[in-house]
Amino acid sequence: MHRKKTQTGIIPLSEIFYRNLTYSVTVNSNLMVLCICGVIEHNTCTGRYSERKVMKKTISTFQKAKENGEKVTMLTAYDYSTAKLIDEAGIDSILIGDSLGNVILGYEDTISVTMEDIIHHTAAVARGAKEALIVADMPFMSYQTSVYDAVVNAGRLMKEGRANAVKLEGGASVCPQIKAITSAGIPVVGHLGLTPQSINALGGYKVQGKSEAAAKQLLEDALAIQEAGVFAVVLECVPSKLAALLTEKLSIVTIGIGAGNECDGQVLVYQDMLGMFSDYVPKFVKQFANVGEVMKQAFADYKKEVSNGAFPSEEHGYKIEDDVIEKLY
């Protein structure tokens, strides 16, 4: 299937130099297209060109948000088209989660997700998102085996996947890995509470930190990974009051998923919040739209119109002169 790659706009070379803008360019005669620090947009109605600033979100963006009491937004994505839509909606960060094992690959858990899976999907997201901070999950056994493996695999996610940061699960036990990865210049997001990669050890998908001992352990782990160098931590399926306490005691950003509204930010799997994944729906999910039903109806309408010949109609086809066809008989 052929698709045209649309250009944002074209502007004369002389005007770019006049405006003293810095661009990554493709040269065609005296024309230039596309830019890194800005995007040239062409209004086909007025014929005018304008520049839209592209401000890439960074780990500093997260920290400033916490300091200013502003909430951080994060959603998952696994492909170019979805990442582009999420980015254009202004979401702060996109997580290429190992949840892709469930919602994309159809696994019962996240254990089977590989480095190649995450790299493949992260690279696709990176091509679609220009402003959101891109965080890639480190899959099961990509960092638990050794500090060396952790650094090498984190590096692959950055270099091959074009991620801006990596995420790994665990508390004090993974602090050596966190220290080594951050020492290599790679930002790290932690993950505490319900850690899906440890689902077999946890005995199922259960709320974590409900007892005094468990809550104390969560706090100790959070402080430990903060000291090790993470710039943010995902708190999953943690009692709201405990998550609020952790958010108060930590200087890093807390991102909740089933952890109440006192966290510094929130994350959801986009298929969950759009009603596209019906195998099971966690309690903490709010469906902001029932896109799944809209999609099913559209698929059914497509089948109906193809079957009865209504699609494609003349407007969807291409013309050729009758005399050309006549000569072929």
pLDDT at residue 4 in the model: 43
Domain membership flag for residue 48: yes
Q: Are residues 81 and 181 in the same domain?
A: yes
81-84 — which CB contacts under 8 Å span 24+ positions? 81/128, 82/125, 82/128, 82/270, 83/124, 83/125, 83/126, 83/127, 83/128, 83/129, 83/132, 84/128, 84/129
Give the DSSP letter of residue 316. Answer: G
Residue with the bigger pLDDT between 88 and 9: it is 88
Domain membership flag for residue 292: no
Please state which of the ranges 5-9, 38-42, 157-161, 176-180 shows the lowest mean pLDDT: 5-9
16-21 — which CB contacts under 8 Å span 24+ positions? 19/51, 21/51
pLDDT at residue 96 in the model: 98
Tell me the β-bridge partners of 182: none
Please state which of the ranges 9-13, 17-21, 177-181 shows the lowest mean pLDDT: 17-21
Catalytic one of 41, 67, 169, 236: 236
Q: 50 is written with which tokens?
A: 């304008």
Q: Are residues 28 and 135 in the same domain?
A: no
What is the average per-residue pLDDT within 65-75? 98
Is 212 among the catalytic positions?
no
Instruction: Assign 3-state DSSP to the chain and report helix, strand, coil percentages, each to 5.
Output: 40, 15, 45
Domain membership flag for residue 112: yes
pLDDT at residue 302 in the model: 98
Does residue 28 surpass a pLDDT of 60?
A: no
When pLDDT is cut at 50, 70 and 90, the band that residue 53 belongs to is low
Q: Are residues 47 and 186 in the same domain?
A: no
Chain mean pLDDT for the chain: 88
pTM: 0.83
Q: Cα–Cα distance between 33 and 311 in angstroms, integer?
A: 37
pLDDT at residue 141 in the model: 97
Q: Are residues 150 and 17 in the same domain?
A: no
Phi and psi, residue 11, nearest 5°:
-140, 140
Q: Are residues 28 and 116 in the same domain?
A: no
Q: Are residues 47 and 81 in the same domain?
A: no
User: Total domain count for the chain?
Assistant: 2
When pLDDT is cut at 50, 70 and 90, the band that residue 46 belongs to is low
What is the average per-residue pLDDT within 288-307? 97
Does residue 228 surpass a pLDDT of 90?
A: yes
Q: Specify the 3-state DSSP secondary structure of 253.
A: strand
Tell me the β-bridge partners of 244: none
What is the average per-residue pLDDT within 179-184? 98
- pLDDT tens-place string over residues 110-164: 999 999 999 999 999 999 999 999 999 999 999 999 999 999 999 999 999 999 9
- pLDDT tens-place string over residues 8-18: 444 443 333 33
pLDDT at residue 200 in the model: 81
What is the average per-residue pLDDT within 32-52? 50
Q: Are residues 122 and 48 in the same domain?
A: no
Q: Cα–Cα distance between 242 and 213 in angstroms, integer?
A: 12
Domain membership flag for residue 319: no
| C-alpha angle 36-40-41 in degrees, rounded to nearest 5 | 140
Q: Are residues 117 and 260 in the same domain?
A: yes
Percent of the chain with pLDDT over 70: 84
When pLDDT is cut at 50, 70 and 90, the band that residue 201 belongs to is confident
Residue with the bigger pLDDT between 35 and 323: it is 323
Q: Residue 164 belongs to a domain with what CATH number?
A: 3.20.20.60
Domain membership flag for residue 318: no
Q: Are residues 30 and 131 in the same domain?
A: no
pLDDT at residue 102 in the model: 94
Domain membership flag for residue 37: yes
Tell me which residue range forms the domain holding 14: 10-53
